[in-house]
Amino acid sequence: MKNRFNRLTSKEWLPFQKSWFRYESDEKMLRENIRFFCKAEVVDDVFAYWGKDFKTAKKICDENEIVITPLDDVKTESIQFAVIDARGFIDSVSDKDDYITARKNIVNLAIKVYERIEHKRFLCILIPNRQIDNRYFPFAWDLAKNLSSVFSLKDEKIACTEMETNVQEERLFQPTKQLFYCLYFKKDDMTQGKFIESSVRYFENNKQLSPSSGFQNQIPSWFILKPQPRKKNEILHPAKYPEDLVIMFVSEFTSEGENVFDPMAGTGSTQLGALKLNRNGYGTELSEFFADIALSRCQDFMVAQQENLFAQQKEMSFKILHKDARNISPGDFPAMDYILTSPPYWDMLNMKGAENQAKRLTLGLQTNYSDSDKDLGNIVDYEEFVVSLTEIYFNIIELLKPGGYLTIVVKNIKKKGRNYPFAWDLSNALQERLILLPETFWCQDDISIAPYGYGNTWVSNTFHQYCLNFQKPI
Ligand SMILES: C[S@@+](CC[C@H](N)C(=O)[O-])C[C@H]1O[C@@H](n2cnc3c(N)ncnc32)[C@H](O)[C@@H]1O
């Protein structure tokens, strides 16, 4: 196929489509972006840059015969790609008001880009979320939401750095290592370049409390797992998470003997992981088929434990009810110390051709969770889906002890050319009753990359899952 978008070969194109990358240097990151988003032979169009390293950007453009201009000095040229490195703005922000001023400056720069950029070309903004004192500010999400009135928000990439987080107070939950977001916007027919303030309330309820027990702060802000090949009964489920993920989070947020809950148990990964760590595992699952698999996996583990003469015998228990999570009542379970869960990702499993659906079909495997209208994965309307899920979480946090933690594994969703920032929308809704803590990313490195949009435009392969962390106020 003819490549009308840039000059890259498919071999160079594909790795860029991964939605996360190991950040090594600004130079490498800029080079990859400039080469991907600029077509060098378009001599009249320029690359516009705003940030602290114009010299490096110029060197890369010179090497690739691309004309560069500083964004604050852009005049009559037409832009084919722009980068705003907003990390410098955020470094000097010390509270919400400072940020709102910084946001105004970033938005003004973006509007300048909008006025000159060619149709269907991209703007990339580099920006981190930040913990300041004991409050968490998801600046990147806020900027993306607000700026999506000006430009179409198309995609995101997570820049995963090896730099350590400066842990300010040991008793706060702070993932180690740092990361930042590369937000990608496109000029298309969906927006008119006018700024309209969004109604999101990310900064309203974000006071982080001191936990009752000390944190180990052992969870990195991004991690890669090497999941074991799934066993026969586990493959039957379309979307389970690995027990290694459960082990990591349950170890951080609970102690031995405590109670762990998952209202959408699937194959019982949360309960099994909890039992392996000498915690109790509880949950519900709508599908009888999967509830049975979850129960038998926990039972098998407990039997093997009892038969193992060398294992220390501990009194652990589990309970998984075949039930709609909407109908959980206070008498069903004891009070919980921690909730770890992952919902259906809207109705994505019903999308023919989505993700690995075709592969499952050829293997004769179930592609969705169920055909029940109570299954959240069968709700077609996005807003209704987010509201229904939020109601379930508000119901189950009644079980959570004050000060207890909740982790939700989710993805932002792309559907029919539109971006639905599900992780951010859910966080926003949950902040009405929960305290938002820093998110961590499960970066998947074991899936083959699909050449979406090859030769025409950029669409990433979403290989990063958000692990959203919250605390119930005391
Ligand atoms: C992403 S999967 C969870 C996978 C699980 N974490 C694992 O590792 O096996 C979501 C699960 O939610 C279940 N589900 C959907 N709607 C539900 C509802 N209303 N109540 C309870 N479970 C529901 C689905 O059957 C599915 O098993």
Provide the pLDDT confidence category of residue 208 given band limits of 50, 70 and 90.
low
User: What is the torsion angle, in degrees rounded to the nearest 10, for the CA atoms of residue 181, residue 135, residue 148 and residue 153?
Assistant: 30
- Cβ burial of 79 (10 Å; 0-12, 13-18, 19+) is buried
9-33 pLDDT, tens digit each: 988 999 999 999 999 999 999 999 9
Distance 426 CA to ligand 1 centre (A): 17
Kindly state if the Cβ of 181 falls inside 6 Å of ligand 1. no
Ranges of each domain in the chain:
10-186, 222-437
Which amino acid is residue 15, in one-letter code? P
Fold equal for 10-186 and 222-437: yes
pLDDT at 285 over 70: yes
Kindly state if the Cβ of 376 falls inside 6 Å of ligand 1. yes
388-430 pLDDT, tens digit each: 999 999 999 999 999 999 999 999 999 988 999 999 999 999 9
Report whether 173 contacts 211 (CB < 8 A). yes
218-272 pLDDT, tens digit each: 889 999 998 777 777 777 767 789 999 999 999 999 999 999 999 999 999 999 9
Q: Render the burial of 349-365: b for 16+ CB within 10 Å, e for the rest.
A: bbeeebbebeebeeeee
Mean pLDDT of 333-351: 92
Query: 3-class DSSP state for residue 396?
Result: helix
pLDDT at 354 over 60: no
Ligand 1 atom closest to the Cα of residue 262 is 6
Kindly state if the Cβ of 32 falls inside 6 Å of ligand 1. no
Give dist(CA 51, CA 112) in Å, integer: 15
Domain over 222-437 is classified CATH 3.30.1300.10: no
Provide the pLDDT confidence category of residue 168 given band limits of 50, 70 and 90.
low
80 C-beta neighbours (distance < 10 Å), count? 24
Kindly state if the Cβ of 240 falls inside 6 Å of ligand 1. yes
Distance 375 CA to ligand 1 centre (A): 8
Kindly state if the Cβ of 238 falls inside 6 Å of ligand 1. no
Distance 128 CA to ligand 1 centre (A): 31
Distance 285 CA to ligand 1 centre (A): 6
Which fold does the domain 10-186 belong to in CATH?
A: Rossmann fold (3.40.50)
Kindly state if the Cβ of 342 falls inside 6 Å of ligand 1. yes
111-140 pLDDT, tens digit each: 999 999 999 999 999 999 998 888 899 999
Kindly state if the Cβ of 206 falls inside 6 Å of ligand 1. no
